[in-house]
Amino acid sequence: MTFLYRLTITSALALSLGACATVDQKAAFDGVRTTIGARVNQDLIWRHDTATDAEVAAKVDALLANEIALESAVQIALFNNRALQARYAEIGIANADLVAAGLLSNPVLDIMVRPTTNPASGANLEFGLAQSVLDIFMRPARKRAAQADFDRAQGEVASAVINTVAEVREAYVEALGARNSLRVVEEVYAAADASRDMAAAFHSAGNISDLQWAEEQALTEDTAALVDDAKLKAVETAEALAALLNVDASALKLPQQLPALPQSDPSIANAETTALEKRLDVAAKRKAVTARLETLRLKTSWRLWHEAGLAVSAERDGDKQWAIGPTLSLSLPIFDQGGPEVARAAAEVLQAENELKNLESHVRADVRTALAKVETARRQAERYNKTILPLKQDILRLKQERYNFMLIGVFDVLVAKRDETSAYMNYVNTVRAYWLARAELANAIGGAPIETPSTANGEKQ
């Protein structure tokens, strides 16, 4: 009976080890929420039940009630983008795996009944309860590996969130840029249209030829085609943004113009180091390396022992006497000493390490490129705002003075007006490039929030 007693102890132990079998998905999601919160400075909610869903829907509606600023678009996406919600579920899956990894494999009960021809002796009965011993010893290591896997899954989801944030920012800038450009193209058209009206007056007075009149009309129509293009672009970009936010484009109150450039660019000390610390794809890759190292360690320690079973069996033979005794089953490392498995694990470690180094190199390059883009876009935007636009305004004024003294005609003045407006279009493009670069930089260093000034770029200096 001593053995039975010990079996009971072992089973109780195993049960106690496996008892923590509830899966806490909320705690698992909070990890991502904290990670994102620390980087993007926005809240994350997993709409996993109807109550939460209603609560988040109300928050989204509140945000949609106002004109959408860059970061509120990001917040709406985090609440409302269903692709993200789908990814949040991945955390639940990984979490379940993690919990499962903490459980012992269940003991195996064998029951064997062998009826005999001798009725006196009754059936031959055999009971066996077997538990994988190796499983017990490997459990902590296996759990560590599963934890690493969970962390990686969490990291990947967080990374996906960050990517969506970047997409939203880009889409937002594109949508505003397109609206902004449309307004300017309409002004360019207004100049061409006025020029056509003027040409009509000259033509009906008999002062310009059919040729000049046709040229003037063609020019105006060309410009009208540009307006159509700009209109479509505004629709496309607004729809792209709305799609990312999973709302109707008509529900978006977008500003008419891009925000003005801030007084200065954010100073990011050691941007490359920051990026390597904060970037979630880098963190995920690091965790992959850790997980693989753990796997390798595990494979190395237990390379010889593929299977080890400990069991207890009881048998009642024909004499109706119970015979009870332990059983040990062990796979003998004669042919397969685990070498290939270890080699595979080692190669996988190398693979992950090289992938990490490659990623780090790309991250550094991304950061440097984004910084250069921000700097260039600022320089260009400021050149347009402080030099080129004032010069174009001067040119227009000086052309008007020339018109006043009959040195040039009205058409030349209208061309100057068109040129001035076209220069403003180039300026809008530089502002757009600036905010795209800022979004790229924010993404490159891990998703940092972007502060936008409340003034629009249209307020000419």
Q: Which range of residues in 7-15, 203-211, 296-304, 364-372 is near other proteins by CB under 8 A?
A: 203-211
Give least dist CB 186 to other proteins, A. 12
Q: Which range of residues in 158-166, 205-213, 234-242, 307-315 is near other proteins by CB under 8 A?
A: 205-213
CB nearer other proteins, residue 91 or residue 389: 389
Give least dist CB 217 to other proteins, A. 14
Give least dist CB 447 to other proteins, A. 44
CB nearer other proteins, residue 318 or residue 409: 409
CB nearer other proteins, residue 376 or residue 400: 400
- Identify the residue whose tokens are 């030829």: 209
Q: Which range of residues in 81-89, 199-207, 302-310, 338-346 is near other proteins by CB under 8 A?
A: 199-207
Please give the span between the terminal C-alpha atoms of the chain, in angstroms, as a whole number. 95
Give Cα separations from 370 to 128, 330, 376, 439, 442 (angstroms): 67, 59, 10, 9, 9
CA dist., res. 448 & res. 440, Å (int): 10
* Maximum distance among all Cα pairs of the chain, rounded to whole angstroms: 135
Token readout for 247 is 């709302």
- By CB under 8 A, tell whether 191 contacts other proteins: yes
Strands of 108-114's sheet, edge to edge?
A: 108-114, 124-132, 308-316, 322-330
- By CB under 8 A, tell whether 413 contacts other proteins: yes
* Subset of 417-456 contacting other proteins (CB under 8 A): 417
Q: How many residues touch other proteins (CB under 8 A)?
A: 30
CB nearer other proteins, residue 187 or residue 360: 187
Give least dist CB 199 to other proteins, A. 8
Query: Do residues 116 and 318 lie in contact, with contact meaning Cβ atoms separated by under 8 Å?
Result: yes
Query: Do residues 65 and 247 lie in contact, with contact meaning Cβ atoms separated by under 8 Å?
Result: no
CB nearer other proteins, residue 51 or residue 205: 205
- Residue 448 burial (CB < 10 Å; 0-12/13-18/19+)? buried
Q: Is the dihedral of CA 86, 87, 92, 93 positive or negative?
A: positive
Query: Do residues 287 and 349 lie in contact, with contact meaning Cβ atoms separated by under 8 Å?
Result: no
Q: Which range of residues in 36-44, 160-168, 200-208, 329-337 is near other proteins by CB under 8 A?
A: 200-208
To which H or E segment does residue 312 belong? Answer: strand 308-316
CA dist., res. 6 & res. 310, Å (int): 12
CB nearer other proteins, residue 302 or residue 411: 411
Query: Do residues 290 and 356 lie in contact, with contact meaning Cβ atoms separated by under 8 Å?
Result: no
CB nearer other proteins, residue 35 or residue 195: 195
Give least dist CB 386 to other proteins, A. 23
Give least dist CB 438 to other proteins, A. 34
Query: Do residues 315 and 116 lie in contact, with contact meaning Cβ atoms separated by under 8 Å?
Result: no
CB nearer other proteins, residue 297 or residue 402: 402
- By CB under 8 A, tell whether 207 contacts other proteins: yes
CB nearer other proteins, residue 396 or residue 448: 396
* Subset of 372-411 contacting other proteins (CB under 8 A): 396, 398, 400-411
- By CB under 8 A, tell whether 190 contacts other proteins: yes
C-alpha gyration radius of the chain: 36
3-state helix, strand, coil in the chain (%, to 5): 70, 10, 25
- By CB under 8 A, tell whether 169 contacts other proteins: no
- Secondary structure E strands in 162-215: none
Which residues contribute to the site for other proteins (CB under 8 A)?
Answer: 190-191, 193-194, 197-198, 200-202, 205-208, 396, 398, 400-411, 413-414, 417
